[in-house]
């Protein structure tokens, strides 16, 4: 059983750090990648790669790199394939969209000006920046959940701090159930005609306001019956269901070009655009991560 749990945790950690959740280059390596300009169509990044420096896994859309000072860079793709690029001063290189880690394997500092191309968001759809923001929220919340679950002792996994409180096991089970339900509501809404009042709903709650509401643990919400955990799940099974649901949601966000802001879903807590539902999924995860911390603190005091 311990071996199976370890395999599940490792797989989910790889998911959280792999191409689906690959971060912005300027976030993972700010000393190397410096954004100098950005609008809805392009982003300009100055890249200064000193000898031996490396940047962890990150992603780029289609982009051009103009070489200010040549050198040799090694790129390792998300699937482990490695390629080495000899960049000559003054040349321009086109690189298709991909996720990779990078390392200066040459003998001198490599300097580039990178121009990332953004696809114009379809009317009511997600911009490249909005997609990146949602995917980073998923990555952070997934990583946090996995760390909390990994640090939960076996004897506390299914133990409740009080008869009316959930155990860590039940919280993780709830996360997997809720994510599948919310994505199901979202896709069902997208199959229906666009809502006449979508702009009012979309403008009624900003991402910051939603995240603030979800992180306020003093405000309680009643989970609908289909999202109520039944209990009794092993750690490996609960993590597998949670991780599977998260992978499906992240892939949907990454690939969709649908007008997710123009379709409204009806939830127990009110109406939201599909865009807001996708943000809520990550915020809901963070909310329950806080609950797991509370449960463990209460159990460890006993």
**Domain range annotation of the chain:** 28-117, 121-301
Question: Which of these ranges, 188-192, 231-235, 264-268, 289-293, has the smallest mean pLDDT?
Answer: 264-268
Q: What mean pLDDT do residues 256-262 have?
A: 92
CA 266/CA 277 separation, integer angstroms: 10
11-60 per-position pLDDT tens digit: 555 455 444 455 788 888 999 999 999 887 899 999 999 999 999 988 88
CA 94/CA 97 separation, integer angstroms: 10
Contacts of 258 (CB under 8 A, 6+ apart): 122, 125, 190, 274
CA 56/CA 18 separation, integer angstroms: 10
133-173 per-position pLDDT tens digit: 899 899 999 999 999 999 999 999 999 999 999 999 999 99
Indicate if the pLDDT at residue 78 is higher than 80.
no
Question: Which of these ranges, 72-76, 97-101, 270-274, has the smallest mean pLDDT?
Answer: 97-101
Q: The whole model's pTM is what?
A: 0.67
Please tell me the predicted confidence (pLDDT) of residue 302: 65
CATH topology (fold) of 121-301: 1.20.120
Buried-exposed string 126-164: b where 16+ CB fall within 10 A, e elsewhere:
bebebbbbbbbbbbbbbbbbbebbeebeeebbbbbbeee
C-alpha neighbours within 13 Å on the C-beta side of residue 168? 29
Which helix (DSSP H) or strand (DSSP E) does residue 102 occupy? strand 98-104
Please tell me the predicted confidence (pLDDT) of residue 233: 93
Would you say 70 and 88 are in contact if contact means Cβ atoms under 8 Å apart?
yes
216-244 per-position pLDDT tens digit: 877 777 788 888 999 999 999 999 999 88
Would you say 299 and 228 are in contact if contact means Cβ atoms under 8 Å apart?
no
Q: Residue 84's Cα: distance from chain center in Å?
A: 29
From the options 2.60.120.10, 3.30.70.1380, 3.40.50.720, 2.40.170.20, give the CATH code of 28-117: 2.60.120.10
Which strands make up the sheet holding 33-38, listed edge to edge?
Answer: 33-38, 42-49, 110-117, 63-69, 92-95
């Amino acid at each position: 059983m311990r071996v199976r749990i370890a395999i599940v945790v490792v797989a989910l950690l790889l998911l959280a750090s792999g191409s689906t959740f690959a971060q912005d280059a300027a976030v993972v390596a700010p000393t190397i990648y410096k954004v100098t300009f950005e609008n809805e169509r392009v982003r300009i990044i100055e890249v200064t790669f000193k000898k031996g420096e490396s940047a962890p896994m990150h992603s780029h859309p289609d982009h051009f790199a103009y070489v200010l000072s040549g050198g040799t860079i090694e790129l390792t793709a998300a699937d482990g394939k490695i390629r080495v690029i000899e960049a000559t001063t003054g040349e321009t290189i086109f690189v298709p969209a991909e996720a990779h880690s990078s390392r200066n394997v040459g003998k001198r500092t490599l300097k580039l000006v990178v121009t990332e191309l953004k696809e114009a968001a379809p009317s009511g759809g997600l911009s490249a920046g909005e997609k990146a923001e949602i995917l980073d929220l998923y990555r952070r919340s997934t990583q946090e959940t996995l760390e909390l679950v990994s640090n939960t002792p076996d004897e506390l996994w299914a133990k409740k701090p009080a008869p009316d409180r959930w155990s860590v096991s039940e919280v993780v089970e709830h996360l997997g159930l809720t994510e599948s339900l919310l994505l199901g509501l979202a896709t069902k809404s997208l199959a229906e005609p666009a809502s006449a009042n979508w702009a009012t709903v979309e403008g009624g709650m900003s991402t910051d306001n939603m995240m603030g509401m979800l992180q306020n643990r003093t405000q309680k919400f009643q989970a609908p019956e289909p999202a109520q955990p039944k209990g009794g799940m092993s750690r490996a099974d609960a993590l597998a269901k949670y991780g599977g649901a998260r992978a499906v949601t992240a892939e949907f966000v990454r690939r969709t070009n649908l007008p997710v802001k123009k379709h409204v879903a009806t939830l127990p807590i009110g109406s939201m655009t599909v865009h807001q539902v996708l943000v809520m999924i990550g915020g809901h995860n963070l909310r329950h991560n806080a609950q797991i911390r509370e449960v463990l603190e209460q159990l460890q005091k006993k």
